[in-house]
Chain A
């Protein structure tokens, strides 16, 4: 018995040993290489490799054989590598289900398939088979797969779900996968895939996708659809107007058809494509066609296309695109469907009224490198010409160069804009063009609104708009010398509004307009200036150095102009004159403008530099309205108070009045200004050597013709009156004087040489010429008895002693009661004054001796003036002024 038991044990050991040897031999023959064998509660292998065709197809670490029946293997690490495609499925016939195996249980703690699918993480796997019922479980963080296979019936099912980032690291969302079918005879089954909230991490758009696939043997078809429209940027939605349907046999594609629709504010774009089932080689996509249809408010046109022999042909089309863009090609565009290629692109592009036409135009592309097939090197090269009408300007331009993935190169872009006599040239070197943000710098030269312009315009994309700096110079045509304007204005453009930055400045250098020297002027934006369809909003500070001419000067001025859309408020001050001018206005719909103005100024001597009068003091205030409609009109009232003025020795004190002023530079040919006093203009004292007091008159003038009416004044105890005096006048106009007190006449000299009493009056016809004064037959007479007393003095005695006749006359006239006084006077244009005086009376100290005194005098007043000492003073002034 013992012997039989021992024999049996040896036979069993031999069998096991034989089986082990067979297994080892089979494994070795299958390419399995092991190392570090051991025993720890079972056979262990520290390392093993599976080698196929000198390629390591799999590698294991820390394998433990925990049981033999059922076979139970525990593997800590299993890595599978790519050793080529191997035999294509079906090439040697697909297996009829999974092969028979003894029951087993395989556990892999770390399954590494990253050599096959780069993004796959390390997973845990359990594969269990018992009675040909296979169960597979694979799990990884955020992903899981369960599969079953019933070998007896050949039925299989699987379910899987997980995060998309497990398979596609740059994506987010989830997938759910379910499949079931049979693997007995010809394999077949159905697979459903759903993706929820799927999309690239870098983009906000998410989509829900559903796909169903069915296969039977080598035939298969897939239908994929967007469950809901995919919302893209700017209110665009992508929908599958028809699900994408693809069918094939093995690796060969037999049918494909799809229709996508992109809908947005401008309209819809519908892309429909299919392969050509009638092609000679239907097993693929080598031939097909489709249509791109554009419809909507801002979209229009249709592009028919087809492809064959790896060549995509776009039939001639004319498209309307958003932003008033159009695209057109009149010849079929042939575009190779290849990783590398080239194609001619004869295009016509339109924008608003602008048309861009390509001359030579070719695009070429090729893969950037072997490592990354998704990167393409591309380049368009050719020449462009532009012309058309835009923003009221006729545009013309040209460019020759190339643009592509490596940037832009070529000739400077040339643009010319014309409108009437306006002509602006833009020269834009392409090396100034920049990407991200897009920008450029253009040289600008030409003439706009009659102003020559030369400068640079830099611009670059900024946020949702553009920004840059305009640096330009121009010359104002009003200037005969100087007057160049330098402009420096940082600006930005967004939402149709141009914003000129605070501190932007336009400076006008000193120059001549006519014979006036205009000192430098600067305009500076105090804050940002907003320019849009509503107008300009912002404040500009103004500083001017003043004006200088041969006879007058305007001191420096400063002020501000505040614009609010189509309204403007301005304030200018002349500090040296204590003057301030305020104006406001608004643009009218008819292109004109209107508003109000007010001014307030002191009267200071410096104002008289260009006048024949010197203001000493006083106040000037004015209020009015103005209007611009092709011509400027203004009207208002100027109030003068407390004004003192000097015309040399002639002085006026306490002048006051209100003048109404009308200005119209389109109505009056002989003077654009009309002024008239409102009520009387009054002067407290007018001293012309003889004091005139309480002068009142009304005035009306167009600055060339002055009309003074209702003239009243007190004079030497009497008064003067004149109904009207015109200056200049063609005929004499009477001035009546009356009640002149001769005592006050005598008092004009101090001490009075004679003693006079009584009053005289008369009239003096005056002709006031432009530069002369004529007195025609002026007459004065006594209005009451007069008296004359010549007091004894040394000078009178000296006169009497000099001549006996004079002594006799002085004796007769020394005391005289005058009953009749007659004086006649006349003066012609050249200054000859003729005077004749007749005095009749009695001398009471000579027994009432009757006295008749006749006196005539003729003298040229102007010659007398020239002969006086002032002539010498003037001569000295002229002689020495060059050395002052």
Chain B
């Protein structure tokens, strides 16, 4: 029974992924989105799919940041800024990051 539930969950996850024409890695590789110091994805080249993807990812990030902030007694913004720094650090070369001055540059 437990295996059946797991299988159904996997199928549901696969379908939800298929709902997006673009995944995050592909979007970053194509230069459509990039990481920002505020901890959220930004849209580098606006396309409907890129905006949809960034909005979805950012909504999930915000929920996670809020949960972490509450668990650790700090603000959502503080968590988001820490996350932003980590995300920029983890960004692969060739992908876009936003400078504190607001410019998109290839890392």
Contacts and interface: CB of A to CB of B under 8 A. Distances in A.
Contact of A614 (B40, B61, B66, B71): B66
B73 interface: yes
Interface in A347-382: none
B23 A612 contact: no
A512 B61 contact: no
A515 B43 contact: yes
Interface residues of A, number: 40
A884 B16 CA distance: 8
Interface string B41-64: 111001110011011011111101
Contacts of B30: none
* A contact face: mostly helix, strand, loop, or mixed: mixed
Contacts of B107: none
A515 B46 contact: yes
Contact of A612 (B43, B52, B76): B76
27 contacts: A481-B46, A482-B48, A510-B48, A548-B51, A550-B33, A550-B41, A550-B42, A553-B55, A614-B76, A647-B75, A648-B69, A648-B75, A648-B76, A648-B78, A649-B72, A689-B73, A865-B82, A866-B82, A873-B64, A874-B64, A874-B68, A877-B68, A877-B83, A878-B87, A881-B60, A881-B61, A883-B17
A33 to B, nearest CB: 103
Contact of A517 (B52, B68, B83): B52
A612 B79 CA distance: 10
A863 to B, nearest CB: 11
A214 to B, nearest CB: 95
A874 B79 contact: yes
Contacts of B24: 881-882
B51 A549 contact: yes
A647 B70 CA distance: 9
Interface of B: 17, 23-25, 33, 40-43, 46-48, 51-52, 54-55, 57-62, 64-66, 68-83, 85-87, 90
A376 B4 CA distance: 91
Contacts of B43: 515, 550
B91 to A, nearest CB: 10
Contacts of B57: 881
A800 to B, nearest CB: 29
A875 interface: yes
A646 B42 contact: no
Contacts of B60: 881, 884
A823 interface: no
B76 A647 contact: yes
Contacts of A870: 68, 71-72, 74, 79, 82
Interface string A649-666: 110000000000000000
Nearest to A648: B69
B59 A609 contact: yes
Contacts of B52: 517, 548
Nearest to A553: B55
Instruction: Output the residue of A514, A646, A649 with the most chain B CB within 10 A.
Output: A649
Interface string A609-651: 1001110000000000000000000000000000000111110
B64 A550 contact: no
Given A550-B55, A648-B76, 8 more contacts: A517-B51, A551-B55, A646-B70, A648-B78, A865-B78, A874-B83, A877-B61, A881-B64
A311 interface: no
Given A517-B48, A648-B77, A882-B25, A550 B54 contact: yes
Nearest to B87: A878
Interface in A499-516: 510, 512, 514-516
Most chain B CB atoms below 10 A, which of A646, A648, A771, A865:
A648
Contacts of A710: none
Contacts of A549: 51, 55
Given A870-B68, A882-B25, A609 B90 contact: no
A646 B74 CA distance: 11
B19 to A, nearest CB: 12
A881 B56 CA distance: 10
A612 B68 contact: no
Interface string A838-870: 000000000000000000000000000110111
Contacts of B68: 870, 873-874, 877
Given A512-B46, A609-B62, A882-B24, A871 B77 contact: no
A480 interface: yes
Contacts of B70: 646, 648-649
A538 to B, nearest CB: 33
Nearest to B57: A881
A874 B39 CA distance: 10
B2 to A, nearest CB: 21
A771 B17 CA distance: 36
B45 to A, nearest CB: 10
A548 B59 CA distance: 11
Contacts of A874: 64-65, 68, 79, 82-83, 86
Nearest to B67: A873
A613 B76 contact: yes
Given A648-B66, A865-B74, A516 B40 contact: no
B81 to A, nearest CB: 8
Contacts of B61: 877, 881
A517 B55 CA distance: 10
